[in-house]
Structure 1
Amino acid sequence: MKQQERVSSIQMSMLFLFFMTGSSIVIVPAPLTNIAGNGAWISLLLATAIGMLLLAAVLYLNRLAPELSLVGQSRSAMGKGLTFLLLIPFSCVLLWNISGVVIEIGIFFKNTMLKETPTYAVSTLFFIMIGLTAMAGIEVIARMAAVFMFLMFGCIVLIWILVANLYHPQYLLPVMPDGIGPILNASYVVYGFPYSELVVFSVIFSFVRKDENAQLRKHMYVALIINSLTLIASVISSIMVLGPLSGDLKYSLYQLARLISFQEVIERIESVIGFSLIVGFYFKASILLLILIKLLKELLGLKNERLVVFPVAFICLLLSVTTYTKESQLEEFVNVTWPLLNTLAYTIPVLLILLVTVIRHHSKGSKEQ
């Protein structure tokens, strides 16, 4: 995690795609379908539109000052004092964000493959892994993502293909049996996770090579579109296979993998698929920890951010094993509180920094004229 580390615009967009799709591909389809029913894909389209606007905001900030991270942009616009007040809550929510991802990993294993294994054991191993990964730096993570992304997306596409004989298109109708209300409610939930979280990438955009900043915007938009299409396809395939049960069965994609049976040769492959999907959780948590360490380094003026990687990871571990140990509590928090919390801690500070930066930029241009 040295300042001279650099990645290409394609590598940054791959990290972004992994971040947006990694855990959401496992978690999102079932609760989304439970709330919006057959109109879940419409909720995803609405949330994606909001995500596009947020991505446009952070990319515009990057275009104005590509050499600065979010901390540098904020200090340039509002000074050190206001930056500290704005970004300390930002950092605290990042701590919970990392913990929340690992909590979901533990719950996923507890409900599917490792039912007798204590959740804290799974969480501890994952935090050791993501701590070591974050210490390796963004260049190493980007190279790893190039390999593992094909594994994760390959498994997702494989599931869609192997369950094709179970598709029942008639399950997709009616689209809005209960009107627009449930669809708007579901779009609020999926806005909170994962689309409101994308603004945290403004912390690491400064790692993109200077000569590739022009391509960054195009690649990031493509990544967000791929993410949206992947989630929509997963929701639609779950509805076509599981019908009314698609909203009641957690981890829809994993449930589809359990149904795969091809000529009595390919069957019971859900464990392999499950571990492939866990790669997405691992990468998202690693990227979040990297972003948090980078943020703390600049915000607190740390000379060697490596020294705080494992202390921060340990704090996240304590949060993961002591908060929301009951699934019902976590589900209520994610569906109701998380979108609002992300808006207050992530979205509003970034939009405020953008607003002040734009005003200062235009006023400066007017004076020069």
Structure 2
Amino acid sequence: MKNMLTPNQLAVLLFVFLTGSSIINIPAPLIFFSHNAAWISIICAAMLGLLVLLLIMRLARRYPGLNFIQYSSKLIGKPIALLLGMLILTYLIHMAAAIVMDIAMFLNSSMMRDTDYTIFVILIFLAVSMTIRVGVGKFAGMFGLLILSVMIFVVFNISLAIPGYDWHYLLPVFDEGIKPLLHGTYFIYGFPYGEIVLFAMIIPYVRLKAGDRTGRKLAFAILLNAVFLILVTLATILTFGPIAGERKYSMFEVARTIEITEIFQRLEALMGYSMIVASFMKASIVLFLANITLTQILGLPKENRQLIFPLALFCTIISISVGIRGEANWNFIVTSIHPLWGLICATIPLLLVSFVSLFRKKPKQV
């Protein structure tokens, strides 16, 4: 089969998928929910993400070469499997539209205020659809280099902001008890760790072999993502203190505070690049997964790419129609609807299929 992935490429894609838009968007709402315990919420949610990965890898090794919908058909019947596939597809379309909507809002509000929001959405989806048309094997290699540049800029930004940190802002941790911690854990599990379920559709692109350590490499990607999210969250708290939960596009705002001599100033351009590129990569992966899911539901060949542009057009319409309602509506979608949507359309179906698999005999390997 063409466009096969190596375990390392799959791990890079997972890291990109988890880090993508979250590294810029997560800190502010998470701090708003969990206050100074936000970094602990990340640890708790990452542990839940590892449990989800464990279930996915167990099913992938038990049914090699099959994606989530295919082995669900064997376990719970094709009608129910197709229904679960439809739930996953709605979730993916919602995600793709939301990610591009967020990039467009960022560009429109922070950099190019005189440019119409719709133009950004159309151009971004055009770039995304053309990227995934080349095949997962090719864009996976490109994304590795791009995410490396993004992480270098993020670490650079965090390091230069150190003189402005106030370490007293880290305390108290549990000023309002454990409820904020649980709220923050629920939020960040929904975005991004609950989204790991979606990778059950892409694992068949990797030939799983005994001793290839694919599971460990994916687990490392999750832990590395958690480390970076903790770093950017702590940097936001240490910079803004009590108002950290109100600073949208947190790392972009942190970059604006950096002023070390005349050389290191106005570094928000680097964070703007990081946000746009990281979100673009995640949008590409999500639209690719949506194409796989729709192809599977319709019973088309696995390598079919004819539905990519129609899917992109549909997501473009959603992004434009929802985006014109304003940022307040967008914030409500991210913080309230998205985690619940992911729980219903991704996590619960995985738990259902995993539970049923416990009572089925392991299929014979041909």
Structure 1 length as normaliser, TM-score?
0.94
- Whole-Å Cα distance in 1 between the matches of residues 6 and 280 of structure 2? 22
Matching residue's letter, 1:66: P
Output one character per residue of 1:294-334: Cα deviation in whole Å (capped at 9) or x when no partner. Answer: 11112211246221110000000000011253211221222
Segments of 5+ residues of structure 1 without an aligned counterpart are none
Contact 1:98-1:285 at 8 Å conserved across structures: yes
Which residue of structure 1 aligns with residue 121 of structure 2? Answer: 123
The DSSP-based 3-state class of the residue aligned with 2:111 is: coil
Matching residue's letter, 2:336: V
Matched, 1:340 2:340: yes
Matched, 1:58 2:56: yes
- Whole-Å Cα distance in 2 between the matches of residues 213 and 280 of structure 1? 31
Output one character per residue of 1:46-101: Cα deviation in whole Å (capped at 9) or x when no partner. Answer: 21122111111111111212211112211222232221122112111211111011
Matching residue's letter, 2:148: F
Aligned residues: 362
Q: Which runs of 4+ in 1 moved over 4 A?
A: none
Contact 1:101-1:281 at 8 Å conserved across structures: yes
- Whole-Å Cα distance in 2 between the matches of residues 178 and 58 of structure 1? 36
Output one character per residue of 1:210-252: Cα deviation in whole Å (capped at 9) or x when no partner. Answer: 4477311000000000011110111111111111121111111
Cα displacement (A) at 1:271: 1.5
Q: 1:205 aligns with which of 190, 203, 211?
A: 203
Report 1:280-319 matches (<5 A): 280-303=278-301, 305-319=304-318
Which residue of structure 1 aligns with residue 28 of structure 2? Answer: 30
Contact 2:61-2:208 at 8 Å conserved across structures: no
- Whole-Å Cα distance in 1 between the matches of residues 347 and 185 of structure 2? 16
The DSSP-based 3-state class of the residue aligned with 1:229 is: helix
The DSSP-based 3-state class of the residue aligned with 2:277 is: helix
Contact 1:9-1:213 at 8 Å conserved across structures: no
Which residue of structure 2 aligns with residue 7 of structure 1? Answer: 5
Which residue of structure 2 aligns with residue 141 of structure 1? Answer: 139
The DSSP-based 3-state class of the residue aligned with 1:361 is: coil
Matched, 1:330 2:310: no
Cα displacement (A) at 1:144: 0.7
Contact 1:66-1:213 at 8 Å conserved across structures: no
Output one character per residue of 1:267-316: Cα deviation in whole Å (capped at 9) or x when no partner. Answer: 11211321122111001000011111111112211246221110000000
- Whole-Å Cα distance in 1 between the matches of residues 150 and 237 of structure 2? 21
Which residue of structure 2 aligns with residue 107 of structure 1? Answer: 105
Segments of 5+ residues of structure 2 without an aligned counterpart are none
Cα displacement (A) at 1:204: 0.5
Which residue of structure 2 aligns with residue 236 of structure 1? Answer: 234
Contact 1:257-1:273 at 8 Å conserved across structures: yes
Which residue of structure 2 aligns with residue 48 of structure 1? Answer: 46
Distance 1:71 1:213, change over 3 A: farther
Cα displacement (A) at 1:130: 0.6
RMSD: 1.6
Matching residue's letter, 2:254: L
* Percent identity (aligned): 31
Cα displacement (A) at 1:11: 0.7
Structure 2 length as normaliser, TM-score?
0.95
